[in-house]
């Protein structure tokens, strides 16, 4: 057993939209360091993600695009589409299709299925299984995550 893909990202909303109970697409930028793995790569990296989202009553979609300098200091990029069940549900299903390409390596394709438990307004716990197709090295993973939202500054809505 090993812990991989540990990171600490800061996220900023660039455009308030349906995820913030306003109109149109929500756009966010998320960036931060890639921390060394335990039992894996001992290097540091960095990653930036642009997330474009839209929410309907029964479904939320998130298009993620990313650029990274990996822990092995290679350029990397990915694109994924995430679908979530109704936001009102305390426990909602989630699925993802994903493609990743690291310069000099083959492209990895994967699918993920899981659930998100919305514990409180700014605290969510997620769990999923992921199957990835990589030439000569397919992977099956069990994933767990915690999302903890902390406002670093207060957003004042425009008056008028």
Could you tell me the domains of the chain? 10-148 (2.40.160)
Confidence (pLDDT) at 154 = 64
What are the CA-CA distances from residue 108 to residues 4, 36, 102, 114 (Å)? 17, 21, 9, 20
Q: 0.85 cut: is pTM over it?
A: no
Mean pLDDT over all residues of the chain? Answer: 90
Q: Do residues 81 and 94 make contact, with C-beta atoms less than 8 angstroms apart?
A: no
Q: What confidence tens digit (pLDDT) does each residue in 21-37 have? A: 999 999 999 999 998 87
Confidence (pLDDT) at 155 = 59
Confidence (pLDDT) at 100 = 92
Classify each residue of 113-149 as buried b or exposed e, where b means 16 or more C-beta atoms within 10 Å of its C-beta.
ebebebeeeeebebebebebeeeeeeeeeeeeeeeee
């Amino acid at each position: 057993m090993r812990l991989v893909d540990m990171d600490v990202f800061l996220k900023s909303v660039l455009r308030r939209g349906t995820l913030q109970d306003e109109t149109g697409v929500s756009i966010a930028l998320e960036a931060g360091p890639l921390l060394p793995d335990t039992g894996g790569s001992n290097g540091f990296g960095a990653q930036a993600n642009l997330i474009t989202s839209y929410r309907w009553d029964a479904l939320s979609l998130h298009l993620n695009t990313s650029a990274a300098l990996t822990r092995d200091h290679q350029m990397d990029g990915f694109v994924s589409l995430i679908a979530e069940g109704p936001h009102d549900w305390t426990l909602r299903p989630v699925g993802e299709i994903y493609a990743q390409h690291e310069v000099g390596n083959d492209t990895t394709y994967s699918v993920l299925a899981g659930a998100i438990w919305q514990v409180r307004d700014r605290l969510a716990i997620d769990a999923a299984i992921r199957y990835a197709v990589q030439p000569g090295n397919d992977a099956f993973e069990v994933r767990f995550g915690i999302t903890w939202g902390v406002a670093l500054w207060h957003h004042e809505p425009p008056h008028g």
